[in-house]
Amino acid sequence: MKRAAIYLRVSTSDQHPETQLYDLRELAAQRGFEIAGEYRDQISGTKARRPGLDQMMTDARRGRFDIVLVWSFDRLARSTLHFLQVLDELNHLRIKFVSRREQVDTGGPMSRAFVVIVGAIAELERSLIVERVRAGMRRAKLEGRAIGLPALLLDRDAILQDRRRGQSLGQIARAHRISRTTVRRVLCEKRTPSSPVPKSFEQPAA
C-alpha cells in the first residue's frame, strides 16, 4: 500500500482546513493510499517560512511516504519558482505529487509539464487579484471612502449583565458574535474606571 502525506494550508485565521482535509482523506481512500502524515500551515501564500511544509519535506527526505496530496497547486508554494523547487525535490526523492482540484499527478512527463504551466497560471492569477485589490483601495481613497471593516458595535451593558449572570466568556462571545478577547476587553474597561481628578487641579469655586 502506498503511503501518502497530506499537506494543507489556509491563509488567515478566519479560514479552516477541515474542508481540504476531508477531500484529501476521501481521495486517499479512493486510491487505496495509507495516510502516513498530515501537515498544515495557517499562513499567507506569499510568506517564505512554513513550518508545516518544512516538516513535510524533512519527512520526505527520511522516506516516510511515497506520495504528497494537496487540495490545489496554490496551497503548496508561494511562487512558481518555489513550487518548481518543491516539485523537483519530490521528483528527485521519487515521491509523486497529486493535486485534487487540478486532477493531475507527476506520474509521467506530460503531467509534469502540465503542472509547470498551471503553477505559472496560478501565480499570475494571484498577482492579478492583489493588483485589483490595491487598485480598488487607491480608488476608494481618492473618492474619500473609508477603507477596511466597519467599526464593531458592542452592547457593553448587555455584555456586563450577561457576565453578572454567571455566563462564561465563551458563552458571551457566542451570544454577541464577538471574540473572547473582545469580551475580556469590555470587562477590563468596566473594572478600570478613569481616575478622579486630583484636587490640586480642580477649578476654584466662583
State the total domains in the chain.
2
Q: What's the pTM?
A: 0.54
Both 164 and 113 in one domain: the answer is no
With respect to residue 197, please indicate whether it lies within any of the assigned structural domains.
no
What 3-state DSSP class applies to 20?
helix
Q: Provide the residue range defining the domain that includes 186.
A: 156-191
Question: Which one is catalytic: 11, 72, 79, 111?
Answer: 11
With respect to residue 93, please indicate whether it lies within any of the assigned structural domains.
yes
Active site residue 99: no
CATH classification of the domain holding 69: 3.40.50.1390
pLDDT digits (tens, 9 = 90+) for 129-174: 778 878 878 887 787 776 665 566 778 888 888 888 888 888 888 8
Q: How confident is the model at residue 194 (pLDDT cuts 50, 70, 90)?
A: very low
CATH classification of the domain holding 174: 1.10.10
CA-based nearest residue to 106, from 65, 66, 134: 66
Judge whether 34 and 4 are in contact, CB under 8 Å.
Answer: yes
With respect to residue 80, please indicate whether it lies within any of the assigned structural domains.
yes
With respect to residue 41, please indicate whether it lies within any of the assigned structural domains.
yes
- What is the Cα–Cα distance from 8 to 10, expressed in whole angstroms? 7
Q: Which of 101, 124, 147 is the last residue of a domain?
A: 124
Both 65 and 161 in one domain: the answer is no
With respect to residue 129, please indicate whether it lies within any of the assigned structural domains.
no
- What is the Cα–Cα distance from 180 to 178, expressed in whole angstroms? 7
pLDDT digits (tens, 9 = 90+) for 76-128: 877 777 887 888 788 889 899 998 887 777 766 666 676 667 667 767 777 77
Both 80 and 163 in one domain: the answer is no
Quote the DSSP letter at residue 10. E
Both 30 and 88 in one domain: the answer is yes
Both 77 and 119 in one domain: the answer is yes
With respect to residue 202, please indicate whether it lies within any of the assigned structural domains.
no
